[in-house]
C-alpha cells in the first residue's frame, strides 16, 4: 500500500485547498459592494476578491473570491476571505502577505508570492467600494517609487522579488535586472532589500 509522505504544505493550507471557503458562485458580482482583481493568467496567478460592506460601520460582512493559481494561491485566498469578515475596511486594508502566510501555517519560500496577490486584490476591492460610494478621498493608492530608472524597477518589484526568494543583490538582479545598466541605484535598492527582508522574514 502506498504511503504518501508529507505534503510540501501545512495541514491548514491543505485543508483550505481541499475545502476552500467562500468561493464566489457563478459569474455575477452585482450583489457585492466592492470588486478587485489582480494578476494575470500568463503569469500563472490571478485573483478576484468581492466584498459586502456594512455601510454604517464600514465593516466587511462578506468576502468571496475566485482564483486562478496553484494550491497555495487557492488556499491563501480562501484563508484571507475568512480573515477579513468582521474587520473594518481600514483593518482589512492593512492585512499583509505575511499575516496570510502565518494564518496558513507558513508557506514555502517560493510560494510566498502566491499570497501577495490576494491582499492586493482585497485592497483593490476596498478601493472599488470607496469609489462606488463617493468616498474617493479614502481611496489609498499603493505608493510606488521607481528605484531603478534604467530598467524601470519599483520598490514594489523589489518587495515582490524578496517575497519570491531574493536575499542578495545578485539574486535581486537575477530576478529583476535591476541596476544592470548604470548601476546608480545599488545603494538605495540595497536599503530596500534589507528592509523587505526584515519586514517579511525577520532577517
Partner 1 sequence: MADMKVYFDHNATTPLHPEVKKEMIAGMEMFGNPSSMHAYGREARANVEDARQKVADFIGARENEIIFVGSGSEANNTVLSLFVCSSSQCIPGSRRGTIITTKIEHPCVLETSECLAHRGVRVKYLNVDRYGKVDLDQLYGMLGDDVGLVSVMMANNEIGTLQDIEAISKMVHESGAFMHTDAVQAVGKVPVDVTKLGVDFLTISAHKIYGPKGVGALFVKQGLPYCPLIRGGHQERGRRAGTENTLGILGMAKAAEMRVAEMPEEEERLLLLKQRLQRGIEESIADIYINGHPTDSLASTLNVSFTGVEGEAILLYLDLEGIAVSTGSACASGSLDPSHVLLATGVDAELAHGSIRFSMGRGSSMQEVEYLLEVLPRTIQRIRNMSTAYVKGGSHAARR
CB nearer to partner 1: pick between 39 and 179 = 39
Q: What distance in Å separates the CA atoms of residue 4 and residue 102, rounded to the nearest whole number?
A: 25
Smallest distance from the beta carbon of 5 to partner 1, in angstroms? 12
Q: Cβ(54)–Cβ(33) under 8 Å?
A: no
2-41: contacts with partner 1 (CB under 8 A)? 2, 4, 17-18, 20, 23-25, 27, 29, 37, 40-41
CB nearer to partner 1: pick between 27 and 56 = 27
Smallest distance from the beta carbon of 184 to partner 1, in angstroms? 27
Out of 63, 114, 148, 185, pick the active-site residue.
Answer: 114
Residues in the chain: 203
166 binds partner 1 (CB under 8 A): no
84-123: contacts with partner 1 (CB under 8 A)? 110-111, 114
One DSSP character per residue, 65-114 reads: EEEES-HHHHHHHHHHHHHHTT-BHHHHHT--HHHHHHHTT---GGGHHH
Task: Return the exposure string of 58-84: e unless at least 16 CB atoms fall within 10 Å of the residue's CB, then b.
Answer: bbbebbbbbbbbebbbbbbbbbbbebb
CB nearer to partner 1: pick between 51 and 114 = 114
158 binds partner 1 (CB under 8 A): no
Using CB under 8 A as the binding criterion, the count of chain residues that bind partner 1 stands at: 34
Residue entry with cell 542578495: 168
Q: Cβ(127)–Cβ(139) under 8 Å?
A: yes
Q: Which residues bind partner 1 (CB under 8 A)?
A: 2, 4, 17-18, 20, 23-25, 27, 29, 37, 40-48, 65-74, 110-111, 114, 164
Amino acid at each position: 500500500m502506498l504511503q504518501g509522505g508529507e505534503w510540501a504544505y501545512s495541514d491548514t493550507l491543505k485543508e483550505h485547498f481541499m475545502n476552500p471557503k467562500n468561493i464566489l458562485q457563478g459569474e455575477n458580482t452585482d450583489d457585492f459592494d466592492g470588486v478587485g482583481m489582480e494578476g494575470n493568467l500568463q503569469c500563472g496567478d490571478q485573483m478576484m476578491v468581492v466584498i459586502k460592506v456594512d455601510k454604517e460601520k464600514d465593516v466587511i460582512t462578506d468576502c468571496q473570491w475566485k482564483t486562478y493559481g496553484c494550491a497555495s494561491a487557492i488556499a491563501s485566498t480562501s484563508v484571507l476571505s475568512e480573515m477579513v469578515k468582521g474587520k473594518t475596511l481600514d483593518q482589512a486594508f492593512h492585512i499583509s502577505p505575511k499575516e496570510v502566510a502565518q494564518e496558513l501555517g507558513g508557506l514555502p519560500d517560493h510560494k510566498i508570492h502566491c499570497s501577495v496577490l490576494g491582499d492586493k486584490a482585497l485592497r483593490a476591492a476596498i478601493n472599488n467600494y470607496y469609489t462606488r460610494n463617493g468616498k474617493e478621498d479614502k481611496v489609498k493608492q499603493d505608493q510606488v517609487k521607481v528605484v531603478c530608472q534604467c530598467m524601470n524597477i519599483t520598490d514594489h518589484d523589489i518587495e515582490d522579488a524578496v517575497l519570491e526568494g531574493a536575499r542578495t543583490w545578485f539574486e535581486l538582479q537575477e530576478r529583476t535586472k535591476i541596476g544592470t545598466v548604470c548601476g546608480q541605484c545599488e545603494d538605495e535598492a540595497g536599503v530596500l532589500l534589507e528592509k523587505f527582508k526584515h519586514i517579511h522574514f525577520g532577517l
